[in-house]
Amino acid sequence: MTPKKTLGEFIIDNQNQFEYSTGELSRLLNAIRLASKAVNHEVNKAGLVDIIGATNQINHSDETQQKLDVFANHAFKRALINRDIVCGFASEEEENFISISSTNSNNNNNYVVLVDPLDIDTNVSVGTIFSIYRRLSSNTNAVSVSDFLQKGIQQVAAGYVLYGTSTMLVYTTGHGVNGFTLNPALGTFYLSHPNLKFPKSGNIYSINEGNYVHFPDGIKKYIKYCQENIDGRPYTSRYIGSLVSDFHRNLIKGGIYLYPPTSQHSNGKLRLLYECNPIAFLAEQAGGSASNGTKRVMEVEPKELHQRTPFYCGNIGMVQRIESFLREN
C-alpha cells in the first residue's frame, strides 16, 4: 500500500500553485496545523478536567466566552504571531484586529488571517474556521481594517479543523478541497480525503427549526417542501448546531445548511468574515454553492469585521431552490 501523504508534504508539494510563491503561505498553513493539534489535545481532554464551561468573561458580542474558546483563540494567535508569518490577525473572539509587526526587519509579511477559534457548548463535534487574505496595503506599514474587509473572492486560502470522532483539517487554496485526518498516535495529519466534492444531489437540510415562527415565509415554505412526501422527499433533517460539523457532514453526504434571518436578527447569526466566506470558498471549490439568499456570499462587500449575514450553503441545486423560494415569497 502506498503510504499516504502527510499534510506537511502536501503543502510543500503544492507550494508552486500559489501566485506569489515564496513559501510564506506554506509556513502560515503549517502554523495553523500546529495550533490545531494543540486545540485538538485540549478538546480531547476537556471532559476530564475543569475546562469545559464558561469563563466569567463576556466577549464583545455580550456572549459568555467558553473556556475552550479562550484556549483555542490563544493557541491560534500564539502560533501565528510567534512564527512571525502574518501581518494581521482577527478573531471572532476579539473586538478588534491585531496588527503584527515583523521582528525581522527584512521580513515584511503579506498575509492577514481571520479565525473563528471554536464553537462549543457540550461534548459534540466542534470546529475551527480560518480564512487567509493577502494584504492590500503596502507591507512597509501596519495593516489597516481594509486589509481584513475584503470580499470572500479575494481569499487565498480557507479551511476548517473538525474535532470529531477523528480530527480532520480540510482546506483549499483555490485548487480543490483536500481533507487530512490526524493520526493521534503520531501527531501527524495524513491526506485521507483528496479532492473532496459534494455528491451530485443531496437530501439533508440543516437548520435550527426552533426558530421556525421567526423565519421569513420563503424559509417556512422551503422547510415544508423538504418535508413533503414526493419526488425523493422528505429530506432528512440533521442539525448539530456547529457550522463546521454540519457543513462537513453535508459535504460528504449531500445537503444544505441554512441560517436565515429571523424576526429578531435581520441578518441571521453567522459572521461573514469568520464563518461564511471561508465555508463558502470551500463549498464552491467542492462543487457546491453559498448564497446570502440573493447573491453569492463571497461577493458581498464587507463593511465591518463582525458583520453578520444570512447563509445558505451546500449542493448547488439545493441553494438555487432556496433562492427561488425566497424570491417568490
Interface residues with ligand FBP (CB under 6 A) are: 63, 119, 208, 241-243, 246, 269
Nearer CB in complex with ligand FBP: 33/248: 248
Q: Closest separation between CB of residue 269 and ligand FBP, Å?
A: 5
How far CA 54 is from CA of 72, 100, 207, in Å, comes to 14, 29, 25
Q: Report which DSSP code applies to 273.
A: I
Nearer CB in complex with ligand FBP: 7/276: 276
Q: Closest separation between CB of residue 187 and ligand FBP, Å?
A: 26
Residue 43 CA, chain-centre distance (Å), reads 18
How far CA 209 is from CA of 63, 214, 259, in Å, comes to 22, 10, 10
User: Which helix (H) or strand (E) element contains residue 128?
Assistant: strand 126-134
Nearer CB in complex with ligand FBP: 125/155: 125
Q: Closest separation between CB of residue 185 and ligand FBP, Å?
A: 29
Q: List Cβ neighbours of 317 (8 Å cut-off, separation of 6 or more).
A: 201, 202
Nearer CB in complex with ligand FBP: 101/266: 266
Q: Closest separation between CB of residue 232 and ligand FBP, Å?
A: 26
Nearer CB in complex with ligand FBP: 37/269: 269
Q: Closest separation between CB of residue 251 and ligand FBP, Å?
A: 14
Residue 197 CA, chain-centre distance (Å), reads 17
223-256 exposure pattern, b = at least 16 Cβ within 10 A, e = fewer: bebbeeeeeeeebeebbbebbbbbbbbbbeebbb
